[in-house]
Amino acid sequence: MEKTIIINIGNTIIHIEESAYELLKAYLNEVKHYFANHADDLEIVTDIENRIAELLTEQLEEQKKQVVDAGNVNSVIGLMGRVQDFDNAEATTEEEPMVHASFQAQPTDKKLYRDMDERVVAGVCAGIGHYLDFDVKWIRLAAVLTVFLGGTGVLVYALLWIIMPKATSRIEKMEMKGEPANLQGFQKNLDEELQAVRERLSEANKHAQPVFARLGNFIGEFFEWLGRFISGTGKVIFKIIAIVIVVFGVLFLLSLIVGVAAFQGFWDASIYEYFPFSIVNEGNRGVILFSAFIVCFIPVLALVLFSIRVAFSKQAINKTLSFALLIIWLAGAATVGYQAAKISSEFKQHAELTQTTELKTLPTYTIDIDKSKYFSKEDSIAYHIDANQRNQIVVDDFEDGPFVSPNNIRININKSENGVTRIVQKFESQGKTFQSALQNAQNISYNYNSKDALLIFNPRFQLRKGTIWRNQEVWINLELPVGTKLIIKHDAYRYINNYGTWDCDEKENDSDNYSTWIMTEDGLRCIAQLKEEALHKKKLKKELLDLESLRKTKPVDSLYQDSISNRVKEVKEELGINVEDNTGN
């Protein structure tokens, strides 16, 4: 048994044993070297190869064989003759005028080519290195430095890329390196040598390429290089990104699962009393939770799977499964959309309910907030508070937690038109129909305490058990007759809706935790502010008097006179406005 090789010799495919191939190759190399200095070496060698192919084929047919062996090759060599025999027989070679010029190029004559074998970008630096007989790395270093010197290096490089032809054939590569480009220079392999010679013939006109073709080459090569860059360096970056996405995606998915499990089973249902969850009807909670889970889970899962594919070049999921995932996601999204539409339809109608309480008319009222938390029986049990210990008060200080439902009351203070002091509680709600909206409003439970002049408001309203959040609101309208004083405690400031209570606090500038107001024809006024204004007015009046007396002295200086009259005008103007403002006092 012996390994066979398939060779193409003289355009004939021949199976040949390895040892026979070695023999034939050696012979052909000899022949080629012998004729290398001959003007027509290519034609002669081709003729000889064709004849060898023919002889081998004939022998195979005669001997009914399929594979050429060493015996066949030897007999062919015998027929064709050894190189030494040629010398004896061929007389004319000596007389033949040798045409060396084109083949035996001067060994030192180098040409500038781009070296595609040793290239980093387009082989320009390597080519220059060969041409100048200089180590390529220094030229590359210089090239990189020119980039820092204003970037002209890039332009020069691009120009050289266009101008310099690339060395593709062996002959060009030899010319580039300054090796003698004759046939004797080819020492390696028969096929390679012939290939190079043919290329040389076919690409003889290449150097005369028009500039456009060069430019086209340049663009093509540039994009090829870019492609290699992206698929090389870029790939690594993409992979790192993909791995990061995979890690975070998996963490997200796990926390999503844990979260959903927690919602569904491990926690008590009290979470649904908190704001974003209190919107949902009790019966639909499971469905909504599940479909919302699907809607969030599947895209992240898809992202993770895709990233796995990018990072590990491995398909993590087949087509059917991904299609199924898509369908599930669509179903989930449709359910969420449907439920959202259904819930939002329950906000369609608005209803409000008012409850009016008349108060005794007193000269002064005080508004305070009851900070003690309202405890239901369930809460007392949950917080382990003994309901019998009435002297203990729990203070509700968590006013703006993340899940606090918007159930703060808002207080408007208005002027009473008919001289009656009263509190109007307005309960508002949304609902699917007016009736259900009204029902929702009725289910608001809210209380305040009035002890003579002291009005203590609960900061929050409660929804009766089983009532879902439908944008319920509670407005307290306190109507005060003109001239009534009002003390607003610090705690209540944030609930007053129609006055900037903090401003008054600053004006009063004392450590008391309240501010004093008075109802005027123009609405509620801060007493401290009024005092300040009165003081200011007094000061202005005094200044005006001073100015008038100054004017009476009739100063000679016209400039001084002007400034006095200007100031008088200013003060009068200010006083005029103040007078107009304070007509009610």
* Residues forming beta bridges with residue 460, ordered by sequence position: 408
Choose the stretch contacting another protein; rule: CB under 8 A; options: 49-57, 286-294, 400-408, 564-572: 49-57
Tell me if 249 sits within 8 A of 304, measured CB to CB: yes
Q: How many CB atoms lie within 10 A of CB 108?
A: 7
| Residue with smaller CB distance to another protein, 81 or 419 | 81
Angle at 61 between CA 59 and CA 66, to 5 degrees: 90
Residues 56-75, mask of contacts with another protein (x by CB under 8 A): -xx--x--------------
Residues 22-41, mask of contacts with another protein (x by CB under 8 A): ---------x---x--xxx-
Q: Using CB under 8 A, pick the residue from 66, 88, 553, 558 that binds another protein.
A: 88
Q: Using CB under 8 A, pick the residue from 22, 33, 37, 54 that binds another protein.
A: 54
| Residue with smaller CB distance to another protein, 86 or 448 | 86
Tell me if 517 sits within 8 A of 524, measured CB to CB: yes
Using the rule CB under 8 A, is 510 a contact of another protein? no
What is the spatial distance between Cα 120 and Cα 96, in angstroms, rounded to a whole number?
A: 47
Choose the stretch contacting another protein; rule: CB under 8 A; options: 91-99, 402-410, 432-440, 515-523: 91-99
Q: Considering the complex, what minimum distance in angstroms separates the CB of residue 46 from another protein?
A: 9
**Long-range contacts of residues 330-337, Cβ cutoff 8 Å, at least 24 apart:** 331/291, 331/294, 332/290, 332/291, 332/292, 332/293, 332/294, 332/295, 332/298, 333/291, 333/295, 335/287, 335/288, 335/291, 336/288, 336/291, 336/292, 336/295
Q: Considering the complex, what minimum distance in angstroms separates the CB of residue 96 from another protein?
A: 7
Using the rule CB under 8 A, is 529 a contact of another protein? no
Q: Using CB under 8 A, pick the residue from 50, 322, 442, 471 that binds another protein.
A: 50
Using the rule CB under 8 A, is 503 a contact of another protein? no
Integer-rounded Cα Rg, in Å, for the chain is 51
Q: Considering the complex, what minimum distance in angstroms separates the CB of residue 202 from another protein?
A: 20
Using the rule CB under 8 A, is 11 a contact of another protein? yes
Q: How far is CA 131 from CA 136, 165, 168, in A?
A: 10, 13, 16
What is the spatial distance between Cα 404 and Cα 376, in angstroms, rounded to a whole number?
A: 17
Using the rule CB under 8 A, is 331 a contact of another protein? no
Tell me if 176 sits within 8 A of 111, measured CB to CB: yes
What is the spatial distance between Cα 222 and Cα 277, in angstroms, rounded to a whole number?
A: 58
Q: Using CB under 8 A, pick the residue from 4, 29, 74, 93 that binds another protein.
A: 93
| Residue with smaller CB distance to another protein, 80 or 394 | 80
Using the rule CB under 8 A, is 192 a contact of another protein? no
Using the rule CB under 8 A, is 85 a contact of another protein? yes
| Residue with smaller CB distance to another protein, 57 or 380 | 57
Q: Considering the complex, what minimum distance in angstroms separates the CB of residue 102 from another protein?
A: 15
Using the rule CB under 8 A, is 80 a contact of another protein? yes
Tokens matching residue 140: 């590359």
Q: Using CB under 8 A, pick the residue from 44, 250, 305, 482 that binds another protein.
A: 44
| Residue with smaller CB distance to another protein, 85 or 192 | 85
Using the rule CB under 8 A, is 153 a contact of another protein? no
Tell me, letter by letter, the H, E, C secondary structure of 113-165.
Answer: CEECCCCCCCCHHHHHHHHHCCCHHHHHHHHHHHHHCCCHHHHHHHHHHHHCC
Q: Using CB under 8 A, pick the residue from 92, 388, 389, 558 that binds another protein.
A: 92
Using the rule CB under 8 A, is 509 a contact of another protein? no
Q: Considering the complex, what minimum distance in angstroms separates the CB of residue 129 from another protein?
A: 41
Q: How far is CA 282 from CA 101, 279, 349, 352, in A?
A: 99, 9, 20, 24
Tell me if 529 sits within 8 A of 585, measured CB to CB: no
Q: Using CB under 8 A, pick the residue from 71, 81, 220, 555 that binds another protein.
A: 81
- Tally of residues, the chain: 585
Q: Considering the complex, what minimum distance in angstroms separates the CB of residue 199 from another protein?
A: 21
Using the rule CB under 8 A, is 516 a contact of another protein? no
Q: Considering the complex, what minimum distance in angstroms separates the CB of residue 89 from another protein?
A: 4
Q: Using CB under 8 A, pick the residue from 5, 10, 284, 305 that binds another protein.
A: 10
Choose the stretch contacting another protein; rule: CB under 8 A; options: 9-17, 160-168, 271-279, 320-328: 9-17
Q: Considering the complex, what minimum distance in angstroms separates the CB of residue 57 from another protein?
A: 4
Q: How many CB atoms lie within 10 A of CB 413?
A: 22
Q: Considering the complex, what minimum distance in angstroms separates the CB of residue 56 from another protein?
A: 8
Q: Half-sphere exposure of residue 233, counting CA atoms within 13 Å on the CB side? A: 4
Q: Considering the complex, what minimum distance in angstroms separates the CB of residue 184 from another protein?
A: 17
Using the rule CB under 8 A, is 101 a contact of another protein? no
Tell me, letter by letter, the H, E, C secondary structure of 529-553.
Answer: HHHHHHHHHHHHHHHHHHHHHHHHC
Site for another protein (CB under 8 A): how many residues?
Answer: 33
What is the spatial distance between Cα 55 and Cα 466, in angstroms, rounded to a whole number?
A: 104
Q: Half-sphere exposure of residue 125, counting CA atoms within 13 Å on the CB side? A: 17
Q: Using CB under 8 A, pick the residue from 2, 18, 47, 452 that binds another protein.
A: 47
| Residue with smaller CB distance to another protein, 184 or 209 | 184
Choose the stretch contacting another protein; rule: CB under 8 A; options: 54-62, 100-108, 357-365, 424-432: 54-62
Tell me if 21 sits within 8 A of 35, measured CB to CB: no
| Residue with smaller CB distance to another protein, 25 or 371 | 25
Which has the closest alpha carbon to 432: 350, 323, 494? 350
Q: Considering the complex, what minimum distance in angstroms separates the CB of residue 34 from another protein?
A: 9
Tell me if 272 sits within 8 A of 282, measured CB to CB: yes
Tell me if 307 sits within 8 A of 243, measured CB to CB: yes
Q: Considering the complex, what minimum distance in angstroms separates the CB of residue 135 from another protein?
A: 45
Q: Determine which helix (DSSP H) or strand (DSSP E) holds 563, and give its type and residue range.
A: helix 558-581
User: Could you tell me which residues come within 8 angstroms of residue 150 by beta carbon, excluding any fewer than 6 positions away?
Assistant: none
Residues that bind another protein (CB under 8 A): 10-12, 31, 35, 38-40, 43-44, 47-48, 50-51, 53-54, 57-58, 61, 79-83, 85-86, 88-93, 96
